[in-house]
């Protein structure tokens, strides 16, 4: 999936203003990089279009431990949107990631996130 298709897919899936899709996408990936181990963030980045890879540089080798509410708050703050808009953007982006990367890679990403993320994107537990 190329960069424009990735953003277009999120735009179709998320009830958010179109001009907020790119900032939400970048904020979600930056926050995901904090939540994943450096190795997993690197593996995920390897399957994404180049403009999305730079957001997935993990600041530390170890994953930070925080739940969905903190994830939403960080994305909301970074993207300059309400928590409700951030939540919808995160849901759309994770579902788009599921389509954009291999099934195994998506499973690896989700395995590092709390169960509440699976509930957000509708992944069977």
The verdict on pTM exceeding 0.85 is: yes
Strands of the chain (E only): list them.
none
For residue 60, pLDDT beyond 90: no
Predicted confidence at residue 21, as pLDDT, reads 94
Predicted confidence at residue 58, as pLDDT, reads 79
Distance CA 101, CA 50 (A): 13
For residue 45, pLDDT beyond 60: yes
Residue environment code for 96-121, b if the CB has 16+ CB neighbours within 10 A, otherwise e: bbbebbeeebbebbbeebeeebeebb
Nearest partner of 23 among 100, 69, 86, 102, judged by Cα = 86
Task: Tell me which residue has tokens 């995920």.
Answer: 44
């Amino acid at each position: 999936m190329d960069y424009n298709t990735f953003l277009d897919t999120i735009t179709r899936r998320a009830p958010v203003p179109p001009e907020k899709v790119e900032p939400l996408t970048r904020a979600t990936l930056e926050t995901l990089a904090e939540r994943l181990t450096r190795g997993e963030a690197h593996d995920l980045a390897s399957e994404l279009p180049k403009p999305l890879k730079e957001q997935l540089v993990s600041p530390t080798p170890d994953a930070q431990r925080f739940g969905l509410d903190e994830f939403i708050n960080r994305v909301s703050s970074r993207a300059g949107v309400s928590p409700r808009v951030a939540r919808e953007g995160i849901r759309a982006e994770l579902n788009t990631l599921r389509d954009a990367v291999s099934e195994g890679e998506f499973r690896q990403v989700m395995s590092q996130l709390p169960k509440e993320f699976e509930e957000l994107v509708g992944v069977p537990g």
